[in-house]
Amino acid sequence: MLLNIINSDYLNWISSSYSPPSWAALTAGFFVILTLTLSVYLIFEHLSAYKNPEEQKFLIGVVLMVPCYAVESFVSLVNPAISVDIEILRDCYESFAMYCFGRYLIACLGGEERTIAFMKREGCISAKTPLLDHGSERGIVKHPFPMSLILKPWKMDQWVYQVFKFGIVQYMIIKAVTAILAVILEAFGVYCEGDFKWNCGYPYMAVVLNFSQSWALYCLVQFYTITKYELAHIKPLYKFLTFKSIVFLTWWQGVAIALLYALGLFKSPIAQALQFKSSVQDFIICIEMGIASVVHLYVFPAKPYELMEDRFSGSVSVLGDYASVDCPLDPDEVRDSERPTKLRLPQPDIDVRSGMSIRESVRDVFVGGGEYIVNDLKFTVTQAVEPVEKGINKFNQKLHKISQNIKRHDKGKRTKDDSCIATTSPTRRVIRGIDDPLLNGSISDSVSSRRKKHRRKSGYTSAESGGESSSSDQTFGSYQIHGRRENQQPTSRSAAKRSYRHDKIIGGLNITDEVLSPDSVDRQLNDQISLAKAFLVIAKESKNLQFAWELSAQIRNSQILLSNAALRRTPLTRSESETAIRDMALLLFQAQQQLHYDSTTMIMRLKAKIQGLEEQMNSVNEKSSKYGQIAAEEVPKSLYCFGVRLTTEWFKNSNLQRKLKERKQTAIKLKDNNLYHFCIFSDNVLATSVVVNSTAWNSKNPETVVFHLVTDEVNYAAMNAWFTTNSFQGVTVDVQKIEDFSWLNASYVPVLKQLQDSDTQNYYFSGSGGDNHTPIKFRNPKYLSMLNHLRFYIPEVFPALKKIVFLDDDVVVQKDLSSLFSIDLNGNVNGAVETCMETFHRYHKYLNYSHPLIREHFDPDACGWAFGMNVFDLVHWRKRNVTGIYHYWQEKNVDRTLWKLGTLPPGLLTFYGLTEPLNPSWHVLGLGYTNVDPQLIEKGAVLHFNGNSKPWLKIGMEKYKPLWDKYVDYSRPLLQQCNVH
């Protein structure tokens, strides 16, 4: 030990007097300045374009690794005396940089929740027969040799994600711990950096760090392997290789230099001039970091973030569409959706750009990133400590069993005094507090409780209580109530009355754990409110207005408590609800004693009334849905006249057909991917005209907009006539008819095949098949229309296009939509606005989760989205064979057991895991059946009149009709002749 300290002091004296050669210092200094200049420039670029904080805060952490390495290595080169401390700091940041890189990849996947959902989805695919006939090993993490000898293949799920996360974070923790140990050992002269001696700390730490770092690298490599296709949009291979070369090659480079020095094989002129092996490592790292800083400019550029839209956050009330495509009004679900719940969602104003300042960006990097780090450290420590705790618990259980065996062995030796233990009668349940049979789960006890007499016992407290008090015990049925009343002076006459009334029955009560279970606080309050409302009616009938007023006041207090808990989205705690439950329980107990009503009889009467009201409500709702369905499906006489007159004009006027042929000569525009392409599948000429006209009026460059319209043969002539005779600000419009698609036949399309089935025809068209209780909205033949299902065949309809925006015919465009085409879908196929709020509009609302096929493949709480305004990446669509996935699920639903309604449920299944959520302001829903926030309408890019109340129908909502009417020129003779207004 003493010899080590002497050697350490000698080496420190040598290094303190040592200075590197001038050529080495100048060369290293040049590369350090180059590194700092380029890295600071790149970081500033990211802070200036800080529009995706979840990714960029960790990306900046990765970029900072290069200048940190360069500066620390240069300082260590100039002053070898502190090289150990500098190297420890450098290695600590190395582990942190690895953590940042892992977090950056997770952020690029959409965050932890989406990454876990992706792994679960892949795991489900591997567990079942592949949806398509592609034999693959998706969903299984296979280990290369030699890891395959130790580890079995992993099925991808949340556990695998936690293994990867633990593997990356553990290295950061172990690196920090070993750094502290290295400083301590260096102080005592036993660290011996670079020396592989048994009495030095360096070799042992090198072994530990080697295993920790190797496992972290292995986890990172495996994570990259299973997510590389999902991360294709960020070109992960270049990023991964760049990071790996910096972090891991520098480590092995240092170990190699140490081994060469130890074996006496490092005798190059550079090594001889620099004298210390740490100086050689520092000199090489300074040069390498200069090269790495140049590579970072191309691998981690800020340009993609500069092109992104600004992101906002605001408090908005979201109400989506149940079926997204002409779903008839469902009063129950509309009533649920109109709850005034507020949801924090991103809410950008498309016309206004704003972003974070540099100061705000820096603050978010440190504060926001720090929150992630703390949470991940907690997770990793918990995962590491949990096995130890389980082992200790098992050991304690074994000791407990041994102790119990010893006690049973000695049981026969006990004296009589040892067995004098009082037991409580099993026929009586003692509850300290209030005996409310309903709250305690008994109804029949309330009848027998009135037949029992009250028993009172008087006594005195001990001298320590400082005064006299009386206690009372009351027994009702199988319940016993303990109470205590203290002498108090009421402050007012009304308070005295109430205090006296409470004390007369039970004074100073405490609610026990049986009543205040933390898992049932909300249920207890709701049960109490329901019972109190019933007693309130009885009290008014009995002219007991004072007691009725007290019940009303307490009901309001309990409701306010529940409302506050709902608004803050956290469950009620025991402390905040105890007073409300106690006060209400006291009033309910008094009601039982004063009103003399049989609770069982009263409940039966209330149930009968409720059942009668429910039957009336169901009958009214059924009639309302049926009449609304009929009104929505019928074509108004004016629109029918409009279509007939257009068709007549088309066949009478040869000039129109000649104009159409001339337009066909501009067919090159229909395949030009540099233009903005939109598609509409509709048989409604006027509605389609509004969509095209509103898009043209609000487009910055209408001549770059191309509309692809597909209709049926009946409306083909009318559609051509209208769009040939009218000009829409230079927008290109092409009309096709669905009958021209020869590939659209029963052998290829499952829906057409199902239409040939007699049971399907009876179900949808005659209404005589299947369950007679099925709502009429599930039997709408429109949902089997090929115009409705053509959205799943867009790549086949437009084979030359790469990206397209799908619009329904019941929308109005208010903003320029060209920005939609520059949105990065992150490798997904469908860009859509999510419509979930609380449990409303999640997958379990649309799909039958009692079916094992649905239950095993899809998360019931996954967020739903809406058709009506969707961005489709047709390149990825074809690559993922999305139409094939749609065919798979449509064929599985031939018996209508997976879903019943429309095209949205198969869309949710088809695009599950392939949908990129868009900003809510791009697509505002609900204008066809409910009230929508005016601010939301004002900022919305596309307004959707989904529901029965279409703006061209008489049942349309009057306050929203002007939004649609302003794009219709009612002065046109043809519209006036048909009385379209």
Q: Given phi > 0 = left and psi -120 to 50 = alpha, else beta, which region is 881?
A: left
Neighbours of 663 (CB within 10 A): 17
Query: Under 8 Å CB-to-CB from 580, ≥6 apart: which residues?
Result: 525, 554, 557, 558, 561
pLDDT recorded at residue 944: 94
Rounded distance between C-alpha atoms, residue 590 and residue 584, angstroms:
10
Query: Under 8 Å CB-to-CB from 128, ≥6 apart: which residues?
Result: 856, 857
Residue 575 has pLDDT above 70, yes or no: yes
Of 632 and 652, the one with more pLDDT: 652
Rounded distance between C-alpha atoms, residue 96 and residue 90, angstroms:
10
Q: What angle do CA 793, 795, 799 make, to 5 degrees?
A: 135
Rounded distance between C-alpha atoms, residue 176 and residue 244, angstroms:
20
For tokens 């754990």, what's the residue?
513
Residue 316 has pLDDT above 50, yes or no: no
Q: 149 is written with which tokens?
A: 């000898």
Neighbours of 742 (CB within 10 A): 6
Q: Are 783 and 905 in contact (CB under 8 A)?
A: no
Handedness of CA 531, 532, 533, 535 (dihedral sign): positive
pLDDT recorded at residue 829: 95
Q: 858 is written with which tokens?
A: 């899809």
Mean pLDDT of the chain: 74
Average pLDDT over residues 302-306: 82
Neighbours of 837 (CB within 10 A): 21
189 closest CA partner among 446, 380, 1: 1
Q: 604 is written with which tokens?
A: 């039966």
342 closest CA partner among 933, 961, 849, 896: 933
pLDDT recorded at residue 447: 36
Neighbours of 197 (CB within 10 A): 12
CA 750 to chain centre: 32
pLDDT digits (tens, 9 = 90+) for 656-701: 777 776 665 567 889 999 999 999 999 999 999 999 999 999 999 9
Of these ranges, 11-25, 370-384, 494-508, 825-839, the one predicted with the greatest mean pLDDT is: 825-839
pLDDT recorded at residue 596: 65
481 closest CA partner among 499, 507, 500, 501: 507
Residue 791 has pLDDT above 70, yes or no: yes
684 closest CA partner among 971, 956, 323, 953: 953
Q: 221 is written with which tokens?
A: 């490599």
94 closest CA partner among 187, 207, 178, 185: 178
pLDDT recorded at residue 762: 64
Q: Are 218 and 144 in contact (CB under 8 A)?
A: no
- Please state the three-class secondary structure of 934-951 as a single string: HHHHHHCCEEECCCCCCC
User: What residues pair up with 710 in beta bridges, in sequence order?
Assistant: 681, 736
> Comparing 130-144, 550-564, 759-773, which segment has the lowest mean pLDDT?
759-773
Of 84 and 752, the one with more pLDDT: 752
> Comparing 101-105, 328-332, 618-622, 686-690, which segment has the lowest mean pLDDT?
328-332
| pTM of the model as a whole | 0.45
Residue 556 has pLDDT above 80, yes or no: yes
Rounded distance between C-alpha atoms, residue 725 and residue 733, angstroms:
12
pLDDT digits (tens, 9 = 90+) for 343-388: 333 333 434 344 566 777 777 777 766 777 777 777 767 766 666 6
Rounded distance between C-alpha atoms, residue 678 and residue 811, angstroms:
13
Of 274 and 852, the one with more pLDDT: 852
Residue 192 binned pLDDT confidence (cut-offs 50, 70, 90): confident
Handedness of CA 304, 53, 823, 934 (dihedral sign): negative
Q: What is the dihedral angle through the alpha carbons of 841, 909, 895, 778, rounded to the nearest 10 degrees?
A: 30
- In eight-state DSSP terms, residue 735 is E
Average pLDDT over residues 959-973: 90
